[in-house]
Amino acid sequence: MRLGTIDPADFDARITGARVLALSGEDKRAAALFRDLHADLSEKGRQADAMSALREAVRLNPADLEGRSLLAKAALASGDLDGARTYLDRKTAADDPGLLLALADIELRSGRLDQAREIVPRLLSVSPESREAVVELAWQLCDPTPDAAFVCLDAAVDAAAGAREFDYAATVLQEFVSRRPGYIAALLKLVEVCVDGGLESTMCDAQTQLADAYLSAGQGTEARAIAEDLVAREPWEGAHIDRFRRALVMLRVSEPDTVIAERLSGATPFVARDHFSGAVEAPATPPEVVAEPPRPPEPREPVAREPESRASANTPPAPAKKPAPGEIDLSSALGELDGPDERAQRPATLGDVFKGIRKEVPAGTGDGADQSVQHMKLARTYLEMGMLQEATSYLKTAARSPRRRFEAAALLGRLYRDHGDLTDAIEWLERAAEATASNPEEAQALLYDLGLALEDAGETARALAVFLELQATAGEYRDVADRVDRLARVQTGG
């Protein structure tokens, strides 16, 4: 050990001394010596020996994030993905775009999709120009693991939609469903993008594919709702009518052909919704065809009905059927269509169906239309009722939407903070800080709460950085100046 301190140019003696320290159980001192050796060997151009010293330093001190990051980058540069996996994690990657992309690749190929769903949006947040790299990663994963590929595309499409690049988002999704036909989550996402971007012709094609996908998957209720919308828009298209018939057969509706004939005759017509203005449209008329006046329905014998108030008093309400996990409950939107006696009931439109469809899509198949507004309302309702677990679940779902990310993440962070969970509080407050606030006052209040949480967690350096940023943008905000002075003294030991 003493020989290792005599001549700084004697690297062999210094390495031997560091190893003796490690064998003596003085890991921190040994790690520091190996870090010094890494710096000096790198300066001398001895890269192989330098990286060997750095590996020893990280082995002795696994908390050396900078060293782990350097080793991960070196492994990635040499194409050694397994070697990079040894050193790379969320903390090591920090906000480095290259490391975040590599970490996302590792998690996706390892089947850890939930972790990847957090990493990919983070990458696109700190590095919007990485979007093409994310899409390219999706194409690499598309054939072997389509669910992993859709994690990338889902985040890339959200980023594009947030930038109002709806044509790009639709093109990417169309390419994906051409490679993986019938992928329901991607088709739902494509319909959402088309509605938000006003891409009507593309949406019609997406609806057609979605109806076929639901039929192939045996989901007759969803297929029927979309087929009804398609027939209402283009009743002259026999393929749409066939889709509607197949859905009715799948749902075991009696006399499906009679139902279709009555609907097409105008007695109980199909009704389409204009998804781009919210207005209900009359059934479309085919080109060069004059619509005949609808025939009135056959007269029926009047049926004596019990007064509504009396009936409701004497008849207990039927218990609501609770959907099984992964099942989409559309009964309230679609009603029942079991036979000729109930055909006069007005059918639901596609807009009604999509109100609750995204949050019910099973895990691993992605998300559908953005229902973040409804999720936020449900979350606040559950909070008022004191049902924190349910509220937290809906807030996390709402936070996936770029439109509600700030609001949902900020509320989650404050909830965790109020219940003493500072680790999760800091994570969600940081996510909110990365999103766009609706006004400067909310952004300032969020930074202040983040600084308080970091300070309470003992992370004084990070808390000081946050308060300095807030002081630079908001000036004399609350007691920020006093906190900056106190935290600065803590950092300097004053």
- Short-list 1, 4, 44, 50, CA closest to 26: 1
Distance (Å, whole) CA 179 – CA 84: 30
Please say whether the dihedral angle defined by the alpha carbons of residues 368, 372, 373 and 376, taken in this order, is positive or negative: positive
Domains and CATH numbers, the chain: 3-93 (1.25.40.10), 97-277 (1.25.40), 372-492 (1.25.40.10)
Distance (Å, whole) CA 70 – CA 130: 21
**DSSP conformational letter for 280:** E
| Residue 266 pLDDT | 63
Residue 72 CA: distances (Å) to CA of 80, 96, 429, 462? 9, 12, 28, 24
| Residue 451 pLDDT | 92
Residue 457 CA: distances (Å) to CA of 420, 422, 431, 452, 461? 10, 6, 17, 9, 11
Is the separation of the CB atoms in 253 and 337 below 8 Å?
yes
Is the separation of the CB atoms in 314 and 229 below 8 Å?
no
Q: Where do we find the tokens 């120009």?
A: 129
Long-range pairs for 453-462 at CB < 8 Å and ≥24 separation? Answer: 453/413, 453/417, 453/422, 453/425, 453/426, 453/429, 454/426, 455/483, 455/487, 456/422, 457/422, 457/423, 457/426, 459/426, 460/487, 460/490, 460/491, 461/491
Strand 280-281, strand 272-273: pairing: antiparallel
- Short-list 162, 233, 248, 152, CA closest to 200: 233
Helices and strands, counts by H and E, the chain: 27, 2
Ordered per-residue pLDDT tens for the chain, 494 residues: 676 566 676 677 777 777 887 777 778 887 887 778 778 777 878 878 777 777 778 777 777 767 777 777 776 667 666 666 777 777 777 888 888 888 888 888 888 899 889 989 999 999 999 999 999 999 989 988 999 999 999 999 999 999 999 999 999 999 999 999 999 999 999 999 998 888 888 888 999 999 999 999 999 999 998 988 888 888 878 898 899 999 999 999 888 888 887 777 665 556 555 444 443 344 443 433 333 444 444 433 333 333 333 333 344 444 444 433 333 333 333 333 334 443 333 334 333 433 343 344 443 333 334 567 777 877 887 787 677 887 888 898 888 888 889 999 999 999 999 988 999 999 999 999 988 888 889 999 999 999 999 999 989 889 999 989 888 888 888 888 999 888 888 877 76
Is the separation of the CB atoms in 446 and 416 below 8 Å?
no
Cα 248 → chain centroid: 33
Is the separation of the CB atoms in 435 and 402 below 8 Å?
yes
pTM for this entry: 0.48
Is the separation of the CB atoms in 178 and 191 below 8 Å?
no
| Residue 379 pLDDT | 81
Collapsed DSSP state (helix, strand, coil) of residue 365:
coil
Phi, psi dihedral angles at 361 (to 5 degrees): -65, 130
Residue 196 CA: distances (Å) to CA of 159, 170, 223, 366? 14, 11, 22, 18
Q: Where do we find the tokens 């027939």?
A: 231
| Residue 423 pLDDT | 92
| Residue 312 pLDDT | 38
Distance (Å, whole) CA 7 – CA 159: 56
Is the separation of the CB atoms in 376 and 354 below 8 Å?
no
Distance (Å, whole) CA 370 – CA 362: 16
Residue 65 CA: distances (Å) to CA of 88, 428, 454? 9, 22, 19
Residue 78 CA: distances (Å) to CA of 35, 75, 82, 319? 22, 5, 11, 63
**DSSP codes of every residue in 162-191:** HTT-HHHHHHHHHHHHHHSTT-HHHHHHHH
| Residue 49 pLDDT | 79
Which residues share a beta bridge with 281? 272
pLDDT 10s digits, 295-350 = 444 433 333 333 333 333 344 444 444 433 333 333 333 333 334 443 333 334 33
Distance (Å, whole) CA 278 – CA 263: 23
